[in-house]
Structure 1
Amino acid sequence: MSYAETLEQALLTVKQQAMQMQRCLQQRKLMDALKHTSIMLTELRNPELSPKQYYELYIMIFDSLSVLSTYLAENHPKHHHLADLYELVQYAGNVVPRLYLMITVGTSYLKCPDSPRDEILKDMIEMCRGVQNPIRGLFLRYYLSQRTKQLLPEDATEFNANFIITNFIEMNKLWVRLQHQGPLREREQRTKERKELQILIGSQLVRLSQIVDDNLSMYKDQILPVVLEQAIQCRDIVSQEYLLDAICQVFPDEFHLATLDILLDATTHLNPDVSINKIVLTLIDRLNGYKDRQEQEQGQEQEENTTSKEVKAADINLFQIFWNYLSTLNEERPDLSLQQFIPLIESVLNLSLRWYPENLQNLNALYKITTQKCQDFGSDIPPNCEYLFQNLLTLQNSESSTLRPSSNFFYKLISQCESFGGLLALQSLPLQKSALNSILDVLLHNEVDFDDENEASSNEGFLIDSKENLCSLLSIFEPLTKLGPPMPSLDRKGSKNVKGTGDHFPADEDDNDDEGSWILDPIQEKLAKLNHVVFQSVVKSSDPIKDIEFEMEVLLTLRNWCYKGGKNIKYTYPAIITNFWKVIRRCHLLATRCDSENTKRHTELIKQNFKYVSRSTNDLFNMCGNSFSDALYKLNIQSASLADQLSLGEIAYDFFSQAFTLFEESLSDSRTQFQALVYMAQSLQKTRSLREENYYDSLIVRCTLHGSKLLKKQDQCRAVYLCSHLWWTTEIALIGEEEGVTTDFYREGKRVLECLQRSLRVADSTMDNIQSSELMIEILNRCLYYFIHGDEHDTHVSVRYINGLIELIKTNLKSLKMEETTTAKTQLAEQRLSELHIDDAQNTAKVSNRFVIGSDGSYIDVPTVNGGRALVSTKLNSMYINEMIQIPIQHFNRTCDYILNQRDVDDRFKVIVI
């Protein structure tokens, strides 16, 4: 008998013969039915079918044979005896149909109680050796396995296991032989086809797991050794990878715990090209899953046998077994590449985290062997391996929430595992930066809760417990301190773009001394935050009375660490300085609560901390130069203000003096100078401890003189009239001062008037009439402030002076109106306004309300939005002269309206002539 040439023809033949077989069975013509069955089975001899096609054909034939099997079992022994049929079908002409018929009849016979089961099973499995073609033999034995699945003896576990193991061994041999069929050029295609058939082999292991059930001794002594021996001896990569993976998947977790050393030892004898890490990772995933299930069961307080299993699992030192395996593997397989070895390390590391989360020495051992492997590698780590070290160092593949590293975990890891830093140091600078950046993100989310006993009740946050551990933590991040900002890259249009680049300037790059050329690297920002996190950790974990000196020591350690970053201290030192301020305030608070001896001690500590702040600011200036002078100026003023609040006038004077020195030597931009003086005046006006030894007088005179020497006259005018407040102290409610009650306010009205007069002379000498008028109106507003807040005798700002100033402003505004533009420009402006649908009668007022003059003399557009105003900081490049003239006019009108309104509440305003 021949077979069809194509799959379609074969399927048609099978369908036709199956119908003929069923018709004959209905007519009880068994011999004819067997004849049609044999013809149908002949199609399974076709050598041209691919595995997918063969499987499709097999499924159709299997269904048809199921019908025959049912008929045979139902009609025994009434119409025929299966023992006779079993002998009869073995006379079929071709071996494939013969064996399929034999298995069909034999398995039908097994359903009968009087059948010799053992003999039939042994005979069938032995007869299957007659088909040695890989695909035909595989499906024949798979058919045998399917037919006998529910028919094996119930109380013969050992016999059943041997039967399935024998079938498994023969199937695996056939599966391996399939790789060597056909020409060499089709090897890749055959490998793909083999992987499509691997489920047939895996089904035998599933059967074994069902038979063994919970019989650990049988699995360990009889099944596992045989399966592993078969896998090792075949030397086939596909077979070894699949079989080891299947063993890990189908057998119970408890079995793996008891035979872990045997399984791992088997991987060392596999083909060198086998992916060992995939097998080990699968095994570790099973063990970690087992741990999760055990914890869930323990939480639910289930059966006692669960507890016994937990004790049994706890008695096994899993990490030691895996560690011995890694050591052996490293010795016996020195050719193992980093791509294969590092994932093994990572998987064992995850297992240690899951089973022994508190034992960091396990991790230290893993990092140590990895470091040794890298050193043995003998050259730079290939770029395609860097992601492996990234995952290993940052534990990014810890998917379970119980494994997700916390800030406390990384703190302990860095401080207790010396090998972690050693492995990190072997990596390239970009990889170190990336790994440390990820760890920084975790450390910066440091949250620690405390219970009533002031002990950490959460494992999330870390607490600095010693200077040694702190130094270990900081040394890890030292490479980041030396990184400069990202190098700007050029986009397609040739413009600079700093996003998406991993390259950095060195921190000591001389060409980047200019402040404008520096770009803040987010990493430096994180390092600054790390300083705060570390300090807060120390504060939370220390005794507020006994450990002030330890906090100071930690800050000095942080400062020395940041100093290694060169010019990057401009980003990190401010965090150190602000933490010194916190220590100073805590010392002051403690000094007010302690006895005289401790008060003296804390006072000395306060002065010492101010010295550290001064040293830090000096380091900033020496290292960064003029590029940081503006921020350094403010740090000195803030330090001075803090010293003043603690009644340390001499220290405050020193910091104010340093700020003035910076102003004189480093601040050259006129706008920056003006803003700096405004900030200085605001700070000086709030001081209270500088009155002794004329410190205050010296400083405010110096501030006013600097204001009078500014480059722009408008800046001079504004700076001087603002400095007038330095001679007119106002109340600070937070320290208990109250107007009318407090009597020791520092107020010299004569100096106030001198400042106002000086600023008025500067305003009058300004060549720009619009600007001059605006400045005079601002001075008028300042005069009204003093007129309200003090008697004329005290402030020396008399009604006569105010009326004279108003008259002068009126005269200037009258002269401004003579400068209005020509009729043509006015008509053009009206045309522009009409296009905006503004009423003609209100054109002038609405246009003028759009603009104001800023503190730097620029014109700012303030458009009307929905009846209100929205400040837009866009500076106008050009305006019509009549629009600019309206600005001081409208400002003066608003001031006059204010004076009129004040007459209702203060009779003194009635003598002011407007």
Structure 2
Amino acid sequence: MSYSETVEQAISNIKQQTVLMQRSLNNKKLMDALKYTSTMLTELRNPKLLPKQYYELYIQIFDSLTILSAYLVENHSNGHHLAALYELVQYAGNVVPRLYLMITVGTSYLKIPNSPREEILRDMIEMCRGVQNPIRGLFLRYYLSQRTKQLLLPIEQKDSIEFNSQFIITNFIEMNKLWVRLQHQGPLRERDQRTKERKELQILVGSQLVRLSQIVDDNLTLYEEEILPILLEQIVQCRDVVCQEYLYDVICQVFPDEFHLKTLDALLDTSLQLNMEVSVTKIILTLCERLNGYIERIRQNQSEDNDQNPIKEDILERFWKHLLKLNDERPDLSIQELSGIILSIMNLSLIWYPTNIQNLNKLFGLVTQKCKDFGEERTQDSESFMVKLLTAHDLDGVKNYKKYFFDIITQCDSFQDLLSIQNSLSQMDVLTLIINCFLGNDTDKKSESQILISTKTQLERFLIILEPMITIKTLTPPPDKNTNEIKEYNAQLSREYLLSVHQEKLAKMCHFLIQNIDKTQFKTVESQLELLLMIKNVYHKGGKNIRFTYPTIVTNFWRMIRKCNIFKVKIPKRKQYYENLMKQIFKYISRCINDMFNNCGNVCMDLIYKLNLQSAALADQLSLVEISYDFFSEAFSVFEESLSDSRTQFQALIFMAQTLQKTRSLYKEDYYNQLIVRTTLHGSKLLKKEDQCRAVYVCSHLWWATEISSIGEEEGETTNFVRDGKRVLECLQRSLRAADSRMDNVESCELMVEILNVCLYYFVHGDEQTTHVGISYINGLIELIKNNLKSLRLEGEQRISEMNVNNGDSNNVNNSANGSIANKDKYVMGLDGTYIKLRNINNSSSAHIDFKIKDMNINDMIQIPVEHFDRTCEYIINQRDIDNRFKMVEL
């Protein structure tokens, strides 16, 4: 008998022989049926079959043999005694058909009452040794396992569990040997192919352990004393990587968690004896996952009123000892592997002992030492593992990330040590995730408990963790024009944005820390101020980076000053104390601003200027006159010494005027008058005439204060306003002179219209005797504007005429000059002198704006002051119904 050449032929032959076998069985011709069965089984002798092909044939043959087995059991008492038949089939010519037939007849005999079960089982498993070909032997023993699944010794029989488990273990050992032997079949170049085939067959071996777990059930003593030692011995002795990894995983998966808890030491010790190429990380991970699942189920089954702790032994200590032993015996173990193991153990610790942070501290310490041992030999992969470790990536045990990181940062010295030896990018990744966690960017706030800083030590540890992000270097230009340095500089330009993002997070973190101070521990403003000073001192290490973070410090100083002012009112007995404390805090603010000046220079002069003004305004609100004046003086010093750009100077003076106009306490000792005169003087000295004009007419409001309703002032009832109409008129006249001297007629006329609007403001809010801005002055200004607009129209007509003559077109001259041509685009002039186009303002609720229009038609430019003046005239006409004085304004 021979096997078929192809799988298709083999399948066809099996089907044909199966039909012949069934026909013979129907005709009670058992010998013929056995002959056809033997022919069919010959197909399993083909050495060219791949595992998948062999399995396909095996399934079909298994179904056919099931038919034969059913017939044998049914006809046992009708002349086909299975004991005799069991002896008969052992004379088959080929060993593979012989053993399949023997197992089929033998397992059929086991179904007969009073059959010699133990003798038959031992005989079958011994006879299977006759096939040593790996694939044939594996499937033969798998067939034995399937046929005997429900036919082992009954449970009620004495020593049945021991015998049944021993039977399965023996079959498992032989199958494992065959499986390992498969790796060494064929030429060396096909080794990878053999490995692939072995992984396809591993389920056959693993099925034996599944059967074993079913036999053992809950017999821990049998498992611990007899079964597990044999299994672990087989794993260690085979020295095969694929085998050891798979079988260790199967043991962890198929046996109960309680068994693993009791035999943990044996499992961990065995992992140290495995092949050096075996992934210990995977083994520990699987074991930890099973134990974590066990404790979760235990806790779920506990009743709500049961306070008993289900953990009776410290399994983490056993893992820790294993980890130390592993590190000693395997000093070459990579950081990736060690980090993976520690991640698993960390998760175990967080689930079993969520309140014991020192367990994590020990684990971080071990990784830190490992990183130091490897030094610069660490790879990029190891750095990514470090980020996962430090950020609790993929750890199921972390239920409250804010609480986790807070406890880690404030209680684990090793965490900071490990973070400090990582590269800059890794540190930024870790800190970014931690800060996002605290700021609530990646967690559900409803599930997070509030974090409170109750001691200075906690804050100090927190700030130490943030130092890598605080001290990250800013981008500086190369000192010379070396090509390589310039390329490197350009390559780093994209990091400037990232730098500002990091500093923004630090600024937000400052607010978070101050807002989460435990008020029961830090009851006084002074104690809270001490914590803010700690943050300031650490942020100072950032050097030039303080331009991003110090404004936050200053803002919190302002908040504490306002808090002191509230307490000063509520507690009159301590009024002097809080006044002194406010003055001290203002000194801290001044120190912060000076630090920004010394470290950052011209980069943040505009910011320094504004911080001085805002601090001055706050001091004025609190009636701290001297302090307010000092901050205003500092702002002027910055303006005079550091703000050189004309546009920046103009904006700075506008901001100064806005701030001064709201002050009140500076009226004392003539400070206010000194400051507004200085402001106006600077405005009149700006480089550009248009800036001079606008700055001076804005400064006119400094001599005509308006009420601030938030502090209880009301128009007509509050009498302590600074209002000097004579000075107002002087400012307007000086502004008008600057506008008239502007060489650009369009802009000069536009400035005059703006001045007219300011004059109308004073006309509405006062009378001529107080404001000195009367009807005659307004009428004169209107007449001047009209004359200038007339000149602009004539200029426009002349230019358009010249353009049309050059183009050979003399039509539409008057229409073009008068702006009668349909044009949906409208233009206005901004306060900084730039032209602004408003597109489709008639067809859209919100106009599209284009800034800084450079190329404009002369007619469009003329229309700007014309339309502005028309709107002003319309306002005057409307006011005549309200105020009779406007009827004397000549339009």
TM-score tier (shorter): over 0.9
- Please state if 1:469 is matched with 2:458: yes
Distance in 1 separating the partners of 2:291 and 2:361: 22
- Give yes or no for contact 1:464–1:470 (8 Å, CA) kept in 2: yes
Aligned residue in 2 for 1:510: none
Aligned residue in 2 for 1:292: 296
Aligned residue in 2 for 1:512: none
SS class of match (2:302): helix
- Please state if 1:592 is matched with 2:549: no
Aligned residue in 2 for 1:26: 26
Aligned residue in 2 for 1:454: none
Tell me how far 1:840 sits from its aligned partner. 9.0
Distance in 2 separating the partners of 1:277 and 1:447: 29
- Please state if 1:123 is matched with 2:161: no
- Give yes or no for contact 1:769–1:816 (8 Å, CA) kept in 2: yes
- Please state if 1:440 is matched with 2:435: yes
- Give yes or no for contact 1:724–1:756 (8 Å, CA) kept in 2: yes
Tell me how far 1:448 sits from its aligned partner. 13
SS class of match (2:37): helix
Number of aligned residue pairs:
876
Give per-residue Cα distances to partners, 1:602-650, cap 9 Å, x unaligned: 1111111000000100110111111110111011101111111111111
Distance in 2 separating the partners of 1:50 and 1:449: 53
* Pairing of 1:52-131 with structure 2 (within 5 A): 52-131=52-131
Match of 1:729 among 705, 708, 732: 705
Tell me how far 1:136 sits from its aligned partner. 1.2
Amino acid at match of 1:115: S
TM-score by length of 1: 0.91
Aligned residue in 2 for 1:527: 506
Per mean C-alpha deviation after superposition, the further-off stretch among 120-129 and 138-147 is 120-129
Amino acid at match of 2:129: R
Change (3 A) 1:656 1:845: farther
Give per-residue Cα distances to partners, 1:119-165, cap 9 Å, x unaligned: 11111111111212211111111000000101112212221111111
Match of 1:822 among 800, 819, 823: 800
Aligned residue in 1 for 2:624: 648
Aligned residue in 1 for 2:482: none
- Give yes or no for contact 1:643–1:651 (8 Å, CA) kept in 2: yes
Per mean C-alpha deviation after superposition, the further-off stretch among 598-607 and 682-691 is 598-607
Amino acid at match of 2:872: T
Match of 2:727 among 748, 751, 770: 751
Tell me how far 1:379 sits from its aligned partner. 3.8
Amino acid at match of 1:413: I
Aligned residue in 2 for 1:720: 696
Aligned residue in 2 for 1:537: 516
- Give yes or no for contact 2:793–2:818 (8 Å, CA) kept in 1: no
Aligned residue in 2 for 1:633: 609
Amino acid at match of 1:524: Q
Distance in 2 separating the partners of 1:250 and 1:830: 99
Tell me how far 1:842 sits from its aligned partner. 9.4
- Give yes or no for contact 1:486–1:521 (8 Å, CA) kept in 2: no
SS class of match (2:114): coil
Amino acid at match of 1:369: L
Tell me how far 1:529 sits from its aligned partner. 1.2
Tell me how far 1:501 sits from its aligned partner. 6.5
Distance in 2 separating the partners of 1:776 and 1:466: 63
Match of 2:774 among 779, 795, 798: 798
Amino acid at match of 1:298: Q
SS class of match (1:819): helix
Aligned residue in 2 for 1:322: 319
Amino acid at match of 2:871: R
- Give yes or no for contact 2:836–2:851 (8 Å, CA) kept in 1: yes
Amino acid at match of 2:862: I
Distance in 1 separating the partners of 2:494 and 2:804: 58
Amino acid at match of 1:147: R
* Pairing of 1:376-775 with structure 2 (within 5 A): 376-398=373-395, 400=396, 403-404=398-399, 406-445=401-440, 459-485=448-474, 521-538=500-517, 541-543=518-520, 546-596=523-573, 598-775=574-751
Distance in 1 separating the partners of 2:488 and 2:763: 55
SS class of match (2:734): helix
Change (3 A) 1:148 1:501: farther
Aligned residues with identical type, % of pairs: 59
Tell me how far 1:25 sits from its aligned partner. 0.5
SS class of match (1:860): strand
Q: Structure 2: where are the runs of 5+ without partners?
A: 479-485
- Give yes or no for contact 1:486–1:503 (8 Å, CA) kept in 2: no
Match of 2:240 among 231, 236, 239: 236
- Give yes or no for contact 2:86–2:105 (8 Å, CA) kept in 1: yes
Aligned residue in 2 for 1:169: 173
Q: Structure 1: where are the runs of 5+ without partners?
A: 302-306, 451-456, 490-494, 506-517
- Please state if 1:365 is matched with 2:341: no
Give per-residue Cα distances to partners, 1:720-746, cap 9 Å, x unaligned: 111111111111111111111212211
Give per-residue Cα distances to partners, 1:517-540, cap 9 Å, x unaligned: x985311111111111111112xx
Per mean C-alpha deviation after superposition, the further-off stretch among 42-51 and 168-177 is 42-51
Give per-residue Cα distances to partners, 1:727-769, cap 9 Å, x unaligned: 1111111111111121221111111111111111111111211
Distance in 1 separating the partners of 2:375 and 2:355: 33
What is the alpha-carbon root mean square deviation over aligned residues?
Answer: 2.8
- Give yes or no for contact 1:447–1:461 (8 Å, CA) kept in 2: no
Amino acid at match of 1:656: F
Per mean C-alpha deviation after superposition, the further-off stretch among 133-142 and 425-434 is 425-434
Change (3 A) 1:637 1:809: same
Change (3 A) 1:607 1:828: farther
Distance in 2 separating the partners of 1:332 and 1:869: 74
- Please state if 1:887 is matched with 2:864: yes
- Give yes or no for contact 1:73–1:109 (8 Å, CA) kept in 2: yes
SS class of match (1:621): helix
Aligned residue in 2 for 1:189: 193
Distance in 2 separating the partners of 1:276 and 1:387: 19
Distance in 2 separating the partners of 1:448 and 1:790: 58
Tell me how far 1:462 sits from its aligned partner. 2.3
Match of 1:903 among 868, 880, 883: 880
Tell me how far 1:691 sits from its aligned partner. 0.8
Tell me how far 1:367 sits from its aligned partner. 0.7
- Give yes or no for contact 2:400–2:448 (8 Å, CA) kept in 1: no
Amino acid at match of 2:264: L
Tell me how far 1:395 sits from its aligned partner. 1.1
Distance in 2 separating the partners of 1:824 and 1:484: 61
Change (3 A) 1:785 1:848: farther
Change (3 A) 1:500 1:108: farther
Change (3 A) 1:163 1:830: farther
SS class of match (2:850): coil
SS class of match (1:192): helix
Distance in 2 separating the partners of 1:606 and 1:22: 105
Tell me how far 1:440 sits from its aligned partner. 2.1
Distance in 2 separating the partners of 1:200 and 1:449: 46
Tell me how far 1:294 sits from its aligned partner. 3.1
Tell me how far 1:827 sits from its aligned partner. 8.9
- Please state if 1:212 is matched with 2:216: yes
Tell me how far 1:362 sits from its aligned partner. 0.5
SS class of match (1:271): coil
- Give yes or no for contact 1:488–1:496 (8 Å, CA) kept in 2: no
- Give yes or no for contact 2:107–2:151 (8 Å, CA) kept in 1: yes
Distance in 2 separating the partners of 1:519 and 1:656: 34
- Please state if 1:348 is matched with 2:337: no
Aligned residue in 1 for 2:329: 332
Distance in 2 separating the partners of 1:26 and 1:695: 123
